[in-house]
Protein backbone atom coordinates (compact mmCIF):
# COMPACT_ATOMS: atom_id res chain seq x y z
CA UNK A 1 0.00 0.00 0.00
CA UNK A 2 1.28 3.43 -0.85
CA UNK A 3 1.93 5.52 2.30
CA UNK A 4 1.21 8.72 0.41
CA UNK A 5 -2.13 7.74 -1.08
CA UNK A 6 -3.34 4.82 1.02
CA UNK A 7 -4.13 2.99 -2.23
CA UNK A 8 -2.83 -0.53 -2.75
CA UNK A 9 -0.14 -0.61 -5.41
CA UNK A 10 -0.88 -2.89 -8.32
CA UNK A 11 1.57 -5.73 -8.89
CA UNK A 12 4.16 -5.01 -11.54
CA UNK A 13 3.63 -6.65 -14.91
CA UNK A 14 6.81 -8.44 -15.97
CA UNK A 15 6.56 -9.41 -19.63
CA UNK A 16 8.89 -12.23 -20.58
CA UNK A 17 10.17 -12.51 -24.14
CA UNK A 18 12.31 -15.34 -25.39
CA UNK A 19 15.07 -13.17 -26.82
CA UNK A 20 16.63 -13.21 -30.28
CA UNK A 21 19.76 -12.17 -32.13
CA UNK A 22 17.47 -10.46 -34.64
CA UNK A 23 17.46 -6.77 -33.63
CA UNK A 24 13.85 -6.45 -34.77
CA UNK A 25 12.72 -8.73 -31.97
CA UNK A 26 13.65 -6.38 -29.14
CA UNK A 27 12.17 -3.38 -30.97
CA UNK A 28 8.93 -5.27 -31.54
CA UNK A 29 8.56 -6.34 -27.92
CA UNK A 30 9.32 -2.83 -26.69
CA UNK A 31 6.65 -1.45 -29.03
CA UNK A 32 4.16 -4.00 -27.73
CA UNK A 33 4.84 -2.99 -24.13
CA UNK A 34 4.37 0.66 -25.05
CA UNK A 35 0.86 -0.26 -26.20
CA UNK A 36 0.31 -2.11 -22.92
CA UNK A 37 1.37 0.95 -20.93
CA UNK A 38 -0.88 3.18 -23.00
CA UNK A 39 -3.86 0.95 -22.23
CA UNK A 40 -3.10 0.85 -18.50
CA UNK A 41 -1.55 4.16 -17.38
CA UNK A 42 0.29 3.95 -14.10
CA UNK A 43 0.94 0.23 -14.28
CA UNK A 44 4.59 -0.70 -13.75
CA UNK A 45 5.43 -2.69 -16.89
CA UNK A 46 8.86 -4.32 -17.11
CA UNK A 47 10.59 -6.56 -19.63
CA UNK A 48 12.77 -9.60 -19.07
CA UNK A 49 14.26 -12.13 -21.47
CA UNK A 50 14.88 -15.83 -21.16
CA UNK A 51 18.10 -15.54 -23.17
CA UNK A 52 20.03 -13.61 -25.83
CA UNK A 53 18.75 -10.10 -24.97
CA UNK A 54 18.99 -7.81 -21.98
CA UNK A 55 17.62 -7.42 -19.46
CA UNK A 56 17.44 -11.08 -18.53
CA UNK A 57 14.41 -12.09 -16.49
CA UNK A 58 16.53 -12.71 -13.40
CA UNK A 59 17.87 -9.14 -13.59
CA UNK A 60 14.39 -7.67 -13.96
CA UNK A 61 13.05 -9.62 -10.99
CA UNK A 62 16.05 -8.63 -8.88
CA UNK A 63 15.20 -4.97 -9.44
CA UNK A 64 11.61 -5.25 -8.23
CA UNK A 65 10.07 -5.16 -4.77
CA UNK A 66 6.62 -6.14 -3.58
CA UNK A 67 4.39 -8.12 -5.94
CA UNK A 68 4.76 -9.04 -9.58
CA UNK A 69 2.85 -10.92 -12.28
CA UNK A 70 5.10 -12.64 -14.80
CA UNK A 71 3.35 -12.67 -18.18
CA UNK A 72 5.00 -14.93 -20.77
CA UNK A 73 5.00 -13.42 -24.26
CA UNK A 74 5.01 -17.05 -25.35
CA UNK A 75 2.25 -18.81 -27.22
CA UNK A 76 1.86 -22.15 -25.47
CA UNK A 77 2.79 -24.43 -22.61
CA UNK A 78 6.34 -25.63 -23.09
CA UNK A 79 9.62 -25.92 -21.22
CA UNK A 80 10.09 -22.18 -20.77
CA UNK A 81 6.65 -21.68 -19.21
CA UNK A 82 6.71 -24.82 -17.10
CA UNK A 83 10.34 -24.83 -15.97
CA UNK A 84 12.38 -21.70 -16.74
CA UNK A 85 9.86 -19.15 -15.46
CA UNK A 86 9.04 -20.92 -12.16
CA UNK A 87 12.78 -21.38 -11.57
CA UNK A 88 13.42 -17.68 -12.15
CA UNK A 89 10.60 -16.66 -9.82
CA UNK A 90 11.79 -19.11 -7.16
CA UNK A 91 15.16 -17.36 -7.40
CA UNK A 92 13.53 -14.05 -6.38
CA UNK A 93 12.23 -14.88 -2.86
CA UNK A 94 11.92 -11.18 -2.04
CA UNK A 95 8.91 -10.99 -4.41
CA UNK A 96 5.33 -12.14 -4.11
CA UNK A 97 4.93 -13.45 -7.60
CA UNK A 98 2.65 -15.40 -9.87
CA UNK A 99 3.12 -16.68 -13.41
CA UNK A 100 0.28 -15.94 -15.79
CA UNK A 101 -0.85 -18.28 -18.52
CA UNK A 102 0.98 -18.01 -21.85
CA UNK A 103 -0.69 -15.82 -24.44
CA UNK A 104 -1.99 -18.71 -26.49
CA UNK A 105 -4.23 -20.19 -27.49
CA UNK A 106 -6.83 -17.42 -27.39
CA UNK A 107 -9.35 -15.85 -29.82
CA UNK A 108 -7.44 -12.56 -29.66
CA UNK A 109 -4.44 -14.33 -31.17
CA UNK A 110 -6.64 -15.69 -33.93
CA UNK A 111 -7.75 -12.13 -34.64
CA UNK A 112 -4.13 -10.91 -34.67
CA UNK A 113 -3.12 -13.74 -37.03
CA UNK A 114 -6.06 -12.92 -39.30
CA UNK A 115 -5.07 -9.25 -39.48
CA UNK A 116 -1.49 -10.15 -40.35
CA UNK A 117 -2.73 -12.42 -43.15
CA UNK A 118 -4.91 -9.58 -44.44
CA UNK A 119 -1.87 -7.28 -44.48
CA UNK A 120 0.00 -9.92 -46.51
CA UNK A 121 -2.72 -10.10 -49.16
CA UNK A 122 -5.30 -12.57 -47.83
CA UNK A 123 -8.83 -11.65 -48.86
CA UNK A 124 -12.24 -13.03 -48.00
CA UNK A 125 -11.46 -16.63 -48.88
CA UNK A 126 -13.68 -19.11 -47.08
CA UNK A 127 -14.06 -22.85 -46.91
CA UNK A 128 -14.24 -24.27 -50.40
CA UNK A 129 -12.06 -21.54 -51.90
CA UNK A 130 -9.23 -24.00 -52.44
CA UNK A 131 -6.96 -21.93 -50.20
CA UNK A 132 -5.27 -23.20 -47.03
CA UNK A 133 -2.94 -21.92 -44.30
CA UNK A 134 0.06 -23.36 -42.51
CA UNK A 135 0.35 -21.99 -38.97
CA UNK A 136 4.12 -21.76 -38.52
CA UNK A 137 5.16 -22.16 -34.87
CA UNK A 138 8.40 -22.65 -32.99
CA UNK A 139 7.77 -26.23 -31.90
CA UNK A 140 8.42 -28.08 -28.64
CA UNK A 141 8.85 -31.63 -27.37
CA UNK A 142 6.10 -30.96 -24.82
CA UNK A 143 2.76 -32.44 -25.97
CA UNK A 144 0.90 -29.62 -24.21
CA UNK A 145 2.64 -27.14 -26.48
CA UNK A 146 1.54 -29.08 -29.56
CA UNK A 147 -2.02 -29.24 -28.22
CA UNK A 148 -2.01 -25.46 -27.72
CA UNK A 149 -0.78 -24.86 -31.27
CA UNK A 150 -3.42 -27.21 -32.68
CA UNK A 151 -6.07 -25.29 -30.74
CA UNK A 152 -4.70 -22.02 -32.13
CA UNK A 153 -4.93 -23.48 -35.64
CA UNK A 154 -8.57 -24.41 -35.05
CA UNK A 155 -9.34 -20.89 -33.80
CA UNK A 156 -7.69 -19.36 -36.86
CA UNK A 157 -9.56 -21.71 -39.17
CA UNK A 158 -12.83 -20.59 -37.59
CA UNK A 159 -11.84 -16.93 -37.96
CA UNK A 160 -11.08 -17.57 -41.65
CA UNK A 161 -14.48 -19.08 -42.28
CA UNK A 162 -13.44 -22.73 -42.18
CA UNK A 163 -10.32 -22.54 -44.35
CA UNK A 164 -8.04 -25.51 -43.53
CA UNK A 165 -5.24 -24.53 -41.15
CA UNK A 166 -2.46 -26.99 -40.35
CA UNK A 167 0.34 -26.39 -37.81
CA UNK A 168 3.92 -26.60 -39.05
CA UNK A 169 6.98 -26.30 -36.85
CA UNK A 170 10.38 -24.68 -37.14
CA UNK A 171 12.05 -27.04 -34.66
CA UNK A 172 11.59 -29.98 -32.26
CA UNK A 173 8.16 -31.09 -33.54
CA UNK A 174 6.59 -32.39 -36.72
CA UNK A 175 5.45 -31.67 -39.32
CA UNK A 176 7.93 -29.03 -40.38
CA UNK A 177 6.55 -26.04 -42.25
CA UNK A 178 7.59 -27.43 -45.69
CA UNK A 179 6.14 -30.83 -44.75
CA UNK A 180 2.86 -29.23 -43.67
CA UNK A 181 2.67 -27.44 -47.03
CA UNK A 182 3.18 -30.76 -48.82
CA UNK A 183 0.55 -32.44 -46.64
CA UNK A 184 -2.03 -29.80 -47.57
CA UNK A 185 -1.21 -30.21 -51.25
CA UNK A 186 -1.50 -33.99 -51.09
CA UNK A 187 -4.78 -33.72 -49.21
CA UNK A 188 -6.15 -31.52 -51.98
CA UNK A 189 -6.67 -28.56 -49.63
CA UNK A 190 -5.12 -26.21 -52.20
CA UNK A 191 -6.14 -28.12 -55.31
CA UNK A 192 -9.13 -26.01 -56.31
CA UNK A 193 -9.01 -23.41 -59.09
CA UNK A 194 -6.43 -20.89 -58.00
CA UNK A 195 -6.02 -22.59 -54.64
CA UNK A 196 -2.95 -21.45 -52.73
CA UNK A 197 -1.26 -22.03 -49.39
CA UNK A 198 -0.36 -19.12 -47.10
CA UNK A 199 1.91 -19.18 -44.08
CA UNK A 200 0.72 -17.49 -40.88
CA UNK A 201 3.51 -16.57 -38.47
CA UNK A 202 2.70 -17.81 -34.96
CA UNK A 203 5.60 -15.94 -33.39
CA UNK A 204 5.41 -12.95 -31.07
CA UNK A 205 8.30 -11.16 -32.78
CA UNK A 206 10.68 -11.52 -35.72
CA UNK A 207 13.56 -13.95 -35.37
CA UNK A 208 15.32 -16.87 -37.00
CA UNK A 209 12.39 -19.27 -36.83
CA UNK A 210 9.93 -16.72 -38.21
CA UNK A 211 12.26 -15.85 -41.09
CA UNK A 212 12.94 -19.52 -41.84
CA UNK A 213 9.22 -20.31 -41.87
CA UNK A 214 8.33 -17.39 -44.12
CA UNK A 215 10.99 -18.45 -46.61
CA UNK A 216 9.16 -21.75 -47.13
CA UNK A 217 5.89 -20.08 -48.13
CA UNK A 218 4.74 -20.93 -51.68
CA UNK A 219 2.47 -17.87 -51.68
CA UNK A 220 2.01 -15.12 -49.07
CA UNK A 221 3.72 -15.19 -45.70
CA UNK A 222 2.33 -13.06 -42.87
CA UNK A 223 4.45 -11.08 -40.46
CA UNK A 224 4.81 -12.19 -36.82
CA UNK A 225 2.11 -11.11 -34.36
CA UNK A 226 4.09 -8.11 -33.14
CA UNK A 227 2.76 -4.99 -31.45
CA UNK A 228 -0.86 -5.20 -32.53
CA UNK A 229 -3.62 -3.81 -30.34
CA UNK A 230 -5.07 -7.30 -29.90
CA UNK A 231 -1.72 -8.43 -28.47
CA UNK A 232 -1.66 -5.59 -25.93
CA UNK A 233 -5.20 -6.45 -24.88
CA UNK A 234 -4.23 -10.08 -24.45
CA UNK A 235 -1.16 -9.28 -22.34
CA UNK A 236 -3.35 -7.27 -19.97
CA UNK A 237 -6.02 -9.97 -19.97
CA UNK A 238 -3.46 -12.55 -18.82
CA UNK A 239 -2.19 -10.08 -16.20
CA UNK A 240 -5.69 -9.47 -14.85
CA UNK A 241 -6.40 -13.20 -14.70
CA UNK A 242 -3.28 -13.76 -12.62
CA UNK A 243 -3.66 -10.85 -10.18
CA UNK A 244 -6.34 -12.75 -8.29
CA UNK A 245 -3.87 -15.52 -7.50
CA UNK A 246 -1.68 -13.01 -5.66
CA UNK A 247 -4.58 -11.78 -3.56
CA UNK A 248 -5.83 -15.29 -2.77
CA UNK A 249 -2.92 -17.68 -3.30
CA UNK A 250 -3.88 -21.32 -3.52
CA UNK A 251 -1.90 -24.43 -4.38
CA UNK A 252 -1.92 -25.25 -8.07
CA UNK A 253 -3.93 -28.38 -8.98
CA UNK A 254 -1.40 -31.18 -9.58
CA UNK A 255 -2.83 -31.87 -13.04
CA UNK A 256 -1.68 -28.41 -14.16
CA UNK A 257 1.89 -28.71 -12.93
CA UNK A 258 4.68 -30.97 -14.22
CA UNK A 259 5.99 -33.41 -11.56
CA UNK A 260 9.27 -31.53 -11.13
CA UNK A 261 7.31 -28.43 -10.05
CA UNK A 262 4.59 -30.10 -8.00
CA UNK A 263 6.88 -30.71 -5.02
CA UNK A 264 8.84 -27.67 -3.90
CA UNK A 265 7.06 -24.28 -4.09
CA UNK A 266 3.28 -24.20 -3.94
CA UNK A 267 3.67 -20.60 -2.75
CA UNK A 268 4.54 -19.64 -6.35
CA UNK A 269 1.21 -19.98 -8.17
CA UNK A 270 1.46 -21.10 -11.77
CA UNK A 271 -1.55 -20.36 -13.94
CA UNK A 272 -1.55 -22.66 -16.97
CA UNK A 273 -5.23 -22.63 -17.87
Higher-scoring residue by pLDDT: 235, 260? 235
| Average pLDDT rounded to a whole number, residues 93-109 | 97
**Mean pLDDT on 99-114:** 98
Query: How much is the pLDDT for 190?
Result: 61
pLDDT (average), residues 194-205: 92
- Using pLDDT thresholds of 50, 70 and 90, give the confidence band for residue 249: low
Q: How confident is the model at residue 129 (pLDDT cuts 50, 70, 90)?
A: confident
Averaged pLDDT for residues 204-220: 97
Average confidence (pLDDT) over 19-43: 97
- Of the candidates 184, 203, 238, the one whose C-alpha atom is nearest the C-alpha of residue 28 is 203
Is residue 164 predicted with pLDDT exceeding 90?
Answer: yes
Mean per-residue pLDDT for 50-69?
A: 97
pLDDT at 188 over 50: yes
Q: Which of 12-26, 174-188, 229-243, 254-268 has the lowest mean pLDDT?
A: 254-268
Of residues 251 and 205, which shows the higher confidence score? 205
Q: Pick 259 or 184 by higher pLDDT.
A: 184
Q: Using 50, 70 and 90 to split pLDDT, how confident is the model at 198? A: very high
Q: Does position 267 have pLDDT exceeding 50, yes or no?
A: no
Model confidence at 227: pLDDT above 50: yes
Average model confidence (pLDDT) across the chain: 88
Are 117 and 133 within 8 A, CB to CB? yes
22 pLDDT exceeds 80? yes
Query: Which of 212, 231, 192 lies closest to 102 in space, CA to CA?
Result: 231
DSSP character string of 13-37: EEEEE---SSHHHHHHHHHHHHHHH
133 or 249, greater pLDDT: 133
pLDDT band at 4 (very low <50, low <70, confident <90, very high): very low
**12-17 vs 66-72, strand pairing mode:** parallel
Q: According to the model, what pLDDT value does residue 189 have?
A: 66
Structure confidence at residue 248 as a pLDDT band (50, 70, 90): low
Amino acid sequence: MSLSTGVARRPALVAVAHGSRDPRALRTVQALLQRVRARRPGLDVRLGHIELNEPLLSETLAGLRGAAVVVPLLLGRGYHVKTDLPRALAGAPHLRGVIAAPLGPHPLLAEALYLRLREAGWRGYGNGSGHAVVLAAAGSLDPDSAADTERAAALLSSRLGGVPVLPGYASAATPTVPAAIDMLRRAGSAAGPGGRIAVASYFTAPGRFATQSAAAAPWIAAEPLGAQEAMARLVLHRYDQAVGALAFPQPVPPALVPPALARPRTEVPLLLR
